Structure 1
Amino acid sequence: MVVNNRHKTNILSTFSTNENDINDENLQILNLNDDQSNTIKHSWQYTVQLNPITFYDENIGVQIHSEEQVWKETRYILLYKKVLGILNKLTWVNFNELLIKFQELPIENKECLENIATIVAFKAFDEHSFGSLYAALCKALNIRITLQNNNGAFEITFKRCVINVCQNYFQNECMDYINTNDTSIEHEQVKKRQKLRTIGCLRFIGELFRKSLLPPSVVHYCISMLQKKKDEKHLEYICNLLRVAGKELNEKINLRDIFNYLEYLTSEDMRSKISPRIRFFIKDVLEMQLNSVQSQKSN
């Protein structure tokens, strides 16, 4: 499966971030490019399609397909493979050692930084159980690229790029619901993989919030937008996000309205309208919330 960027009206202007050293006025939304060409094999399931690299300045007369161009393209592909190699080995045990190796990677331009952020984010989307580990990596990495525009020099960071990837995926996939009549096995497999990745994206957003890389308002906004869809698929998305971030989020923002809504969905009046599987998800989230409240009272 490749990253698919469809032109749609943005649901969000931008995800805000808790990085104090970022000037939001100078940051543009770093969307994935439709003219993507480079692909990196991530696992047997899919490939990650990346932004084309700007290898040369416009004033440098390098011929297309020249030896120098092929050498530079190969160098960037090898860099991305090194990133995947680090991520595949990353554990809590060797975290500090591999963090240093990651920090030392020769990241030279904006496109390269965006591509690496895409690789890390999609790795986190697809490996739900390691979301906390990848979020910790994003918090620890301090990779910056200095750019120039009409207003002068400004910086973009690895953290900002990762957040942009999450934002774009939330806009294009998490909020999208296309009901087709295609019942082929291949189509069902694609839908299943997309659903799992979407759940992974939401859980990773929750982990980024827990690592203080996203403010609570962003997570609350995501929940509110998903709630407006009013279907079981998006209810499951809400439950997965609350499982990760519900406890900490409720300490910063009052989620009483959302939990009241979930309680209503498990009432006898809604029994025939909600599937048992989704009712179980909702009850699990409500039980976690109840335990959290009782724990706070006991302390």
Structure 2
Amino acid sequence: MTVTQELFSQMRSILKKLTPEKFEQLMKEVNELSINTKDRLEGIGNMVFEKAICEVKFTSTYAKMCHCLKEEEESQHLKEELGTKVIAHHRRAVGTMKFLSKLFKLDMVQDVVILGCVGTYLDTQSEEALECLCCLITTTGTVLDCENVKLKQILNEGKITSRVHFMLQDVMDLRQNNWVPRRHKQGPKTIIQVHEEAELEIRLGNMKVEQQLLSKMGQSTICTQLAQAEQDQSSISIELAQA
């Protein structure tokens, strides 16, 4: 195994372990790798790109990793490499666009690339293209305010499915609201958050069981008291009859 192959193997191992809460620790390991040639940088960029479009929930984490690999010369080359890769992966569009938009917001992709994609998708108007367009504009709209005249035209023509129609309408509503979402979407949950939520569900479940037991005990007590009252009333009736 060559030195470069060993480096790629180490990078794959790091990417497999990457989570939001482990980012700082794993980024230190990445910085220790000898990414000092064009081929190595391209290889690392390709690996991060592939992981990002396969694991859409963590695109912001992968974009942040690219941003940290920012020696000036390497960073510029990485921008060009990522831009080229995006154009070549149109069929993996939604994941690609989400990752691209995150990189753009971190100034890792030039605005000309975004505008080029927007223009291409508006001209194409396929289901896939319009879905990518919605994804792209939703994320980049706060920085790159795109005109929505043609979006209105597409909606009015009615040649799209209901799903894409609603996606386009959501984008227009978002723009009208100054790119502020009505409900802020949370980022990926950390392992600690997942554990805390699981513990909370268990506690709530236990509380529900206890309430059911208390309710049953209460009903049992009432039934006992009613039975005792009926017995007392019967005894009184017998005594009156004997008198």
Corresponding residue of 1:285:
171
Corresponding residue of 2:149:
260
Give the number of the structure whose residues are more often helix, by fraction: 2
Q: Alignment partner for residue 247 of structure 1, among 129, 134, 142?
A: 142
The higher relative CO (CA closer than 8 Å, separation ≥ 6) is in: 1
Q: Alignment partner for residue 163 of structure 1, among 79, 82, 85?
A: 79
Corresponding residue of 2:100:
205
- Whole-angstrom distance in 1 between the partners of 2:115 and 2:47: 26
Given the superposition, is the C-alpha separation of residues 143 and 83 from structure 1 closer, same or farther in structure 2, using an over 3 Å criterion?
A: farther
Q: Secondary structure of 1:115's match?
A: helix
- Equivalent AA in structure 2 for residue 275 of structure 1: T
Corresponding residue of 1:92:
20
Summarize deviations over 1:113-163 as a string: whole Å, max 9, x none. Answer: 21111111111122222111111111112357xxxxxxxxxxx40x33433
Corresponding residue of 1:38:
none
Given the superposition, is the C-alpha separation of residues 233 and 100 from structure 1 closer, same or farther in structure 2, using an over 3 Å criterion?
A: same
- Whole-angstrom distance in 2 between the partners of 1:198 and 1:108: 31
Corresponding residue of 2:67:
139
5 Å matches for 1:1-299?
A: 71-72=1-2, 75-143=3-71, 156-157=73-74, 159-174=75-90, 195=91, 197-250=92-145, 255-256=146-147, 259-267=148-156, 270-271=157-158, 273-292=159-178
Q: Which runs of 4+ in 1 moved over 4 A?
A: none
- Whole-angstrom distance in 2 between the partners of 1:87 and 1:117: 12
Per the normalisation by structure 1, the TM-score is 0.55
- Equivalent AA in structure 2 for residue 218 of structure 1: V
Given the superposition, is the C-alpha separation of residues 124 and 108 from structure 1 closer, same or farther in structure 2, using an over 3 Å criterion?
A: same
Give structure 1 stretches of 5+ with no counterpart. Answer: 1-70, 145-155, 175-194
Summarize deviations over 1:216-270 as a string: whole Å, max 9, x none. Answer: 33312221122222322211111111122122211xxxx22xx111122222xx2
How many equivalent pairs are there? 181
Given that 2:54 and 2:95 are in contact with CA atoms closer than 8 Å, whether structure 1 keeps it comes out as: yes
Summarize deviations over 1:179-203 as a string: whole Å, max 9, x none. Answer: xxxxxxxxxxxxxxxx4x3222222
Q: Secondary structure of 2:66's match?
A: helix
Given the superposition, is the C-alpha separation of residues 230 and 116 from structure 1 closer, same or farther in structure 2, using an over 3 Å criterion?
A: same
- Whole-angstrom distance in 2 between the partners of 1:106 and 1:83: 11
Per the normalisation by structure 2, the TM-score is 0.66
Given that 2:127 and 2:164 are in contact with CA atoms closer than 8 Å, whether structure 1 keeps it comes out as: yes
Corresponding residue of 1:179:
none
- Whole-angstrom distance in 2 between the partners of 1:77 and 1:294: 45
Larger radius of gyration: 2
Given the superposition, is the C-alpha separation of residues 138 and 293 from structure 1 closer, same or farther in structure 2, using an over 3 Å criterion?
A: closer
Given that 2:138 and 2:171 are in contact with CA atoms closer than 8 Å, whether structure 1 keeps it comes out as: yes
Give structure 2 stretches of 5+ with no counterpart. Answer: 182-243
Summarize deviations over 1:16-60 as a string: whole Å, max 9, x none. Answer: xxxxxxxxxxxxxxxxxxxxxxxxxxxxxxxxxxxxxxxxxxxxx
Give the number of the structure whose residues are more often strand, by fraction: 1
Summarize deviations over 1:58-107 as a string: whole Å, max 9, x none. Answer: xxxxxxxxxxxxx42xx433321211221222223222211111011123
Given the superposition, is the C-alpha separation of residues 294 and 203 from structure 1 closer, same or farther in structure 2, using an over 3 Å criterion?
A: closer
Give me the identity figure in percent.
26
- Equivalent AA in structure 2 for residue 166 of structure 1: L
Q: Secondary structure of 2:135's match?
A: helix
Given the superposition, is the C-alpha separation of residues 293 and 234 from structure 1 closer, same or farther in structure 2, using an over 3 Å criterion?
A: closer
